[in-house]
């Protein structure tokens, strides 16, 4: 089992830039919008969110940017497990373990 990423929820883009990128040295790999229908399906949260995918060495982070604080957040830890033998067709399977908390960071 491998740690794929850690995900946290933020309401301020400056916090992401200043702390994770400028102080800790994470690089932004990509960002995208998680549409509210998909957010509801995956996390049970019917709100759109911008996601920043950051990387430093072997650690990946998904930082969800929300316009305001609310009760439910996107915080989780995702581990991956290889579901087939090496050399077989297909990709490793993903098992995400969600640890939702009551307050946004």
Is residue 103 a part of any domain in this protein?
no
Is residue 102 a part of any domain in this protein?
no
**For the chain, how many structural domains are there in total?**
1
Is residue 7 a part of any domain in this protein?
yes
Q: What are phi and psi of 43, to 5 degrees?
A: -110, -10
Is residue 41 a part of any domain in this protein?
yes
CATH number at residue 56: 3.10.180
- Model pLDDT for residues 28-80, shown as the tens digit of each residue: 999 999 999 988 887 888 888 899 999 999 889 999 888 777 666 777 777 76
Q: Which domain holds residue 24?
A: 2-97
Is the pLDDT higher at 19 or at 45?
19
Q: Which residue has the tokens 């090496």?
A: 86
- Distance (Å, rounded) from C-alpha 21 to C-alpha 17? 5
pTM of the model: 0.70
């Amino acid at each position: 089992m491998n740690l794929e990423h850690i995900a946290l929820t933020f309401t301020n883009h400056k916090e992401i830039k200043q702390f994770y990128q400028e102080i800790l040295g994470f690089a932004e790999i990509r960002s995208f919008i998680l549409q509210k229908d998909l957010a509801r399906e995956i996390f049970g949260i019917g709100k759109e969110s911008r996601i920043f995918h950051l990387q430093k060495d072997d650690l990946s982070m998904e930082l969800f940017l929300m316009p305001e604080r609310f009760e439910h957040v996107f915080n989780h830890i995702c581990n991956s497990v290889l579901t087939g033998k090496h050399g077989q067709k297909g990709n490793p399977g993903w098992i995400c373990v969600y640890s939702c908390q009551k307050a946004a960071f």
